[in-house]
Structure 1
């Protein structure tokens, strides 16, 4: 009897312990609503005076309540991981509901995410980038903190988030933060961070809780929260005075933005415009961050946030009343030095001297290390701050293994595998109609993979090729050729992605626990190759894609005329932001020459920046902006009742009118043969004038100069405030890479960015004449002008017939 009671008691305790050890139950309450970019703060966060989290009641066990980068306990239903090494120390993990850090702790933060959002989507996702550290920062870096949240559909028992620094794994955690943001802290091994560039990588392996279909993989995501992802420094080791090397290490703020505050007490001097804009380009190229903005002012800022650098510029006499003290030697010659601002306890970079020519000489000295001679070509595009490596620039026939493009051999056990790499295309690329690239794929798939699976190739987000898997039983693919056209390529960096969609019988059954299977289904080997064929090289203008990709034609090292309607802080800020972005993508600073009017700009390239009412009419006409724009854009004239009624009437006429036969034919040709009626013309139509709508805040437009020997670029907005904010928005990386056509507008519409294709295009030779290049140019041009090609084909056929008839008449039977 006693034995029976003892056995019953032991069984009851074991059952209770099992109940207590269960993980957080499946709960849909933590799912984010609406658009992921704009999430409200977690409702569980309490006020600072009461730091207890107000989360719903959940079992409070060490395994379930808090994720950890340490290996899971054997009792937990999580796959075993490698035991922690010195590089994988147990980090501290804190929920988002804790009180904010103290000012002393916040001052040590160096934010690292170079964007306002870092999303890891799908079953396999990885993002990497580099940050720049000074020798002192590399020595003082002690901890990497990051916060993350994830989809409620992610199964924590089968999903992990891994972190690497300089290709060294430093931690791994199960993904279980659907209810809000979870913060983690990882101790950095001594010597891991190094002076200069350091690569940071986040990788997510995610599986669905209940669904085994390929469609369910689109519900999986993990967001790394930028404002809670930062390096922490030991301030006791940061005692050395800053140097000019600190410009490269300015970093980003919690939204992934880099800001330069340029303080000029005498801002309205025309003599200072050129050195100030040269300085802006130097700062932008040294930092080389994806989201850089510049702001000019006449007084020191009252507060400075992380990711900001304040630069004070002026003669010694102009700065005497602004700075608490001048750098030593400011009265004898030009000097660049850091001084402390007592009001904000931050360092100011001061550029001063006895005169503006002395200040200008200092600016040129700062610019010299990043300047590139006109005769020196570049082989890479500077993208490592947001892609992890600089993008190779391919100017012709090339073959590169995946290992040289940053990809590693990978095994995959899920349903949808996706990875990618970047390649650069020059500004004079002219092969979108006939050019061809290919991937020679080294891969393997298991016997579980069924026919109907397929491998897809995407170029800049658009599908380019599909290869079906038709054989069952598994296979090893060696140098499998996958051809795809270059239709979606554009000047600058291009993202090429490979996606494998894998179907299996186990997924059709979807038995419990099958989503967590660890058996590999697919393997991609880094011996695979990307091959690019020859393509025609001749520039086209207008072409904002070339402007955003490589800064063409303003970054060729030639003089560029610059028209600024007025010298004030908003116009100079917008101009500096634009020129800095052009310098970064061009790989060299622009040589701008200020001009007072459009007539004075001459026959070369020119850039116009200002409010629409101040842009010369000639510049508006050449860039196809309506002459009515200065009168109506930004005023109530466009929204007058009469205009609204007319717009409504035109809209209803389009709805009720009969469909034109030409429209039906055009739709049929485009749907079945990818042919537009525009390609069935001998000559292009006239470029219509563009009247910006009220929803547009800023417009960037390009056109040919009146002489035909240059290209004009206009950045304009209805007000100075919208001009500055619009320039800041357009130059953000995710917006800048979408510029295309002859005109781009950005505003409050849906979508906020709209582009207009160029109707009339001029060709600008960039290469020495060769028969081979001319043949490629002709092939691409004829491929886009079908009617001209057909007429030429008929003419050659007639000529061939006449020649044949003439020969037969001389050598025929009658002779």
Structure 2
């Protein structure tokens, strides 16, 4: 009876509550207290152009594996600019990830001037369109999620491509196309999975699946309890090289520590390196065989922790054998030149390397046949050159262009070609009536090429009467006005082959002179965690540039570095003064760099004098003005008019710089010394981590390069004196090319030689005519 009465009362209460009117709901207006999960994008209105395309969907995530996601953008952010743009790269997936992937999710935002009705953002995976939609996130970021069909992804590398077509809302000028952009946030772009097996790493090849975090960075955390023992340094550097070559990501850093952190983050691999007795207090699930044999394997320490890579053995020689298991898997023969440079994790297709004269079709370089109806068409490809490239002063490559344009394209239209961001050539269209260009030769100066991969961009600027009128409300015409065909070719001529020293560009591009099979002699001022981390990150980046792990030998004294290619890493106060002098670094920087109050009075006075001279006289008076005028008009600097190069002045790094990389010949002039230094070990680690980004690594050049975090850029100082190092067998043809480039750089020698030859010719002619000519 009591239970029945209670049930009746509850029923009456619920009924009265249900009868009350619903209160006014503001949930749709108030800001979310927590970040909302990816939402299903709004369905676009059906139209004929979207018929048959995959619809954007947001599948329900599997809560059992919700915390794990693979970020897919290997950059800080992905920015697609102009009227048409695309970026393609690859993502490595394990078997569990390939089978369990459910959706690709990302957030994007675009410029307010982008017209959504004529702009389209598309996503391709392994060449298959998985979704596309209008570009319509000008007010706030918009989340999109596309289902990944079963069987689309595969174990290993998977191609990801983002592609955009954009039009301006109101403006029809060429300048307005530079206002068009769509940016995809790296920390919002990821692949979600539907099973717990996606997190697991089992084989050494799965190191490639570490990926990157939401900022596009990859980190290898090496836990080594005995890392401060100098005898362990060479092997730990070798381990860092092997991990970096497996990962092969555009931004990789190595961090050493002695304790195991709480949990791993995305884009991070935890590696435990040490003997079984050293690791036993750190890791509960240490493989039992580590006490008897070398081990390099993944283990799982709890369900909520990312897999750990254990590199161990019964003693240190056993650990070194385990490290070799990783390094050997990434090695390649020393004497075999690479046909391609592996750039697939940040740019596809992989970059071909040209060692001499060669033609490559655009189809081989990843440039597809395209038809374009806008105002500024842009496409790009990459070509790599070796470390001993020496044709920057006179050489020219050629683009043999196959293209077409209609008669609406008016005079003033042109084709621009950029190399590594610098304009290399401009060619106007030669007809106002339209036409087809078949292998139109366009010369491209080699001045802006550097060892390693080089990005070449081709841009067609198209002017039309309709764009000049730009009638309000007129829709963009879909009719193509320009076409580029993939039968076009890029032709690299034969070029001189001889290495130069110092040349940080060659070191960054292909690890020269450290990648020739001989061990790197490594000197560290101390073996603390920060210095070791900086050295490991730098050495790992060299290994990736060279395409193979480089043997390491540690030095306990800089005196043992004579006649050896050596890498010096350490904070500047601890480095020997003789080393700084040899590298061309001002020794006063040991006290003043990073400490403005400790600056040397004489140098402060000179700096102030130079600043006031520049301020009052416009950069140094008449002489500098004349020099600048000659350089602007004739591309000739006064330094090229010297018969004997001036001495290198000691370089004092500015306080705005936190890292300095310098290269010079050793005292015997038979080897190269490279110094990596900073005001403190902490700044050293942070600075090397910053330049490990492939976009900044490629900016290292000249005799000295410095990194300034305030403007996030690398500044290079060219060397005044260079030594030449032969790298190929002697040949008359190569010597002729070397002489041509050297004389083009040292024009005063060329002028003296030309006058001397003309004088000799005149004297010979006078003598000959004196003996054979008719006397009057």
TM-score with structure 1 length normalisation? 0.88
CA-based RMSD of the aligned residues comes to: 2.3
Secondary structure, counterpart of 1:407 in structure 2: coil
Counterpart of 2:651? 690
Distance change >3 Å, CA 421–CA 690, structure 1 → 2:
same
1:733 aligns with 2:710: no
Asked whether the 8 Å contact 1:302–1:343 carries over to 2, the reply is: no
1:342 aligns with 2:302: yes
Distance change >3 Å, CA 481–CA 608, structure 1 → 2:
same
Matched ranges for 1:87-166 at <5 A: 88-92=54-58, 106-166=66-126
Output one character per residue of 1:465-521: Cα deviation in whole Å (capped at 9) or x when no partner: 111124222111111111121111111111111100111111111123445321111
Asked whether the 8 Å contact 2:220–2:270 carries over to 1, the reply is: yes
Asked whether the 8 Å contact 1:108–1:235 carries over to 2, the reply is: no
Distance change >3 Å, CA 512–CA 592, structure 1 → 2:
same
Q: What is the deviation of 1:439? A: 0.7
Secondary structure, counterpart of 2:443 in structure 1: strand
Secondary structure, counterpart of 2:690 in structure 1: helix
Find the aligned partners of 1:434 and 1:443 in 2 and give their Cα distance. 28
Distance change >3 Å, CA 785–CA 311, structure 1 → 2:
same
Counterpart of 2:525? 565
Secondary structure, counterpart of 2:345 in structure 1: helix
Output one character per residue of 1:644-699: Cα deviation in whole Å (capped at 9) or x when no partner: 66644442233334864432321221111111111111121111101112111111
Counterpart of 1:26? none
Q: What is the deviation of 1:443? A: 0.6
Secondary structure, counterpart of 2:300 in structure 1: strand
Distance change >3 Å, CA 644–CA 488, structure 1 → 2:
same
Output one character per residue of 1:95-125: Cα deviation in whole Å (capped at 9) or x when no partner: xxxxxx9985542310010010110000011
Matched ranges for 1:31-110 at <5 A: 46-48=31-33, 68=42, 72-74=45-47, 80-85=48-53, 88-92=54-58, 106-110=66-70
Asked whether the 8 Å contact 2:65–2:196 carries over to 1, the reply is: no
Find the aligned partners of 2:687 and 2:199 in 1 and give their Cα distance. 40
Q: What is the deviation of 1:48? A: 2.3
Asked whether the 8 Å contact 1:424–1:491 carries over to 2, the reply is: yes
Counterpart of 1:478? 438
Distance change >3 Å, CA 633–CA 261, structure 1 → 2:
same
1:615 aligns with 2:588: no
Output one character per residue of 1:436-478: Cα deviation in whole Å (capped at 9) or x when no partner: 1111111111121111111111111111111112422211111
Output one character per residue of 1:594-632: Cα deviation in whole Å (capped at 9) or x when no partner: 001211113020000001012122221121011111121
Counterpart of 2:729? 768
Q: 2:369 aligns with which of 409, 429, 441?
A: 409
Counterpart of 2:561? 601
Asked whether the 8 Å contact 2:41–2:56 carries over to 1, the reply is: no
1:707 aligns with 2:691: no
Find the aligned partners of 2:190 and 2:36 in 1 and give their Cα distance. 22
Asked whether the 8 Å contact 1:120–1:222 carries over to 2, the reply is: yes
Matched ranges for 1:288-303 at <5 A: 288-303=248-263
Counterpart of 2:628? 667
Q: What is the deviation of 1:237? A: 5.1
Q: 2:348 aligns with which of 367, 383, 388?
A: 388
Find the aligned partners of 2:65 and 2:96 in 1 and give their Cα distance. 18
Q: What is the deviation of 1:218? A: 0.6
Distance change >3 Å, CA 135–CA 175, structure 1 → 2:
same
Secondary structure, counterpart of 1:810 in structure 2: helix
Find the aligned partners of 1:660 and 1:541 in 2 and give their Cα distance. 34
Secondary structure, counterpart of 1:637 in structure 2: helix
Find the aligned partners of 2:94 and 2:236 in 1 and give their Cα distance. 26
Find the aligned partners of 1:595 and 1:224 in 2 and give their Cα distance. 46
Counterpart of 2:130? 170
Secondary structure, counterpart of 2:573 in structure 1: coil
Output one character per residue of 1:6-61: Cα deviation in whole Å (capped at 9) or x when no partner: xxxxxxxxxxxxxxxxxxxxxxxxxxxxxxxxxxxxxx9934259699xxxxxxxx
Q: What is the deviation of 1:770? A: 0.2
Secondary structure, counterpart of 1:695 in structure 2: coil
Find the aligned partners of 1:149 and 1:93 in 2 and give their Cα distance. 22
Distance change >3 Å, CA 680–CA 649, structure 1 → 2:
closer
Structure 2: segments with no counterpart, 5+ residues? 1-28
Secondary structure, counterpart of 1:186 in structure 2: strand
Q: 1:551 aligns with which of 506, 511, 515?
A: 511
Structure 1: segments with no counterpart, 5+ residues? 1-43, 54-64, 75-79, 95-100
Find the aligned partners of 1:507 and 1:316 in 2 and give their Cα distance. 72
Distance change >3 Å, CA 366–CA 654, structure 1 → 2:
closer
Find the aligned partners of 2:456 and 2:65 in 1 and give their Cα distance. 41
Asked whether the 8 Å contact 2:276–2:312 carries over to 1, the reply is: yes
Asked whether the 8 Å contact 1:93–1:182 carries over to 2, the reply is: no
1:803 aligns with 2:764: yes
Q: 2:208 aligns with which of 234, 245, 248?
A: 248
The 10-residue stretch of structure 1 (228-237 or 597-606) with the greater mean CA deviation from structure 2:
228-237
Counterpart of 1:505? 465
Asked whether the 8 Å contact 2:592–2:599 carries over to 1, the reply is: no
Q: What is the deviation of 1:383? A: 0.8
Find the aligned partners of 2:660 and 2:44 in 1 and give their Cα distance. 53
Matched ranges for 1:188-587 at <5 A: 188-236=148-196, 238=198, 242-342=202-302, 344-587=304-547
Secondary structure, counterpart of 2:289 in structure 1: coil
Q: What is the deviation of 1:378? A: 1.1
Distance change >3 Å, CA 49–CA 349, structure 1 → 2:
closer
Q: 1:742 aligns with which of 681, 697, 703?
A: 703
The 10-residue stretch of structure 1 (463-472 or 703-712) with the greater mean CA deviation from structure 2:
463-472
Q: What is the deviation of 1:556? A: 1.4
Distance change >3 Å, CA 621–CA 194, structure 1 → 2:
same
